[in-house]
Amino acid sequence: MPRHPGLPLPVALAALLLTGAVAGAEPIAPADRRSGFDQMSAEIQTMQRDDDANPGMLAVVDGAELWTKPPSSSRPACAGCHGEASSSMRGVAARYPAWDARTARPIDLQGRINACRRTHQGADPLAYESPDLLALTAFVATQSRGQRIAPPEDARLAPARAEGRALFEARMGQLGLSCAICHDENWGRRLGAAAIPQGQPTGYPLYRLEWQGMGSLQRRLRNCLTGMRAEPFGYGAPEYVALEAYLATRAAPLPVETPAVRP
Nearest distance, CB of residue 41 and other proteins, angstroms: 15
Contact between 123 and 69 under an 8 Å Cβ cutoff? The reply is no
The residues that touch other proteins, with contacts defined as CB under 8 A, are: 50, 52-53, 55, 57-58, 61-62, 209, 212-213
**CA–CA distance from 18 to each of 13, 61, 177, 222 (Å)?**
8, 50, 12, 26
Q: CB-wise, 168 or 207, nearer to other proteins? A: 207
CB of 69 to other proteins, least distance (A): 14
- The residues, any chain, with a CB within 8 Å of residue 97's CB and separated by 6 or more, are 106, 107, 108, 109, 111, 157, 160, 241, 244, 245, 248
Give yes or no: 78 in active site: no
Helix H or strand E segment including 56: helix 56-67
Q: Which residue in the list 78, 179, 182, 224 is annotated as catalytic?
A: 224
Could you give the angle at which helices 217-227 and 238-251 cross, rounded to 10 degrees?
Answer: 100
Query: Residue 240 burial by CB count (10 A; 0-12/13-18/19+): exposed, middle or buried?
Result: buried
CB of 57 to other proteins, least distance (A): 6
Which residues participate in catalysis according to the annotation?
224
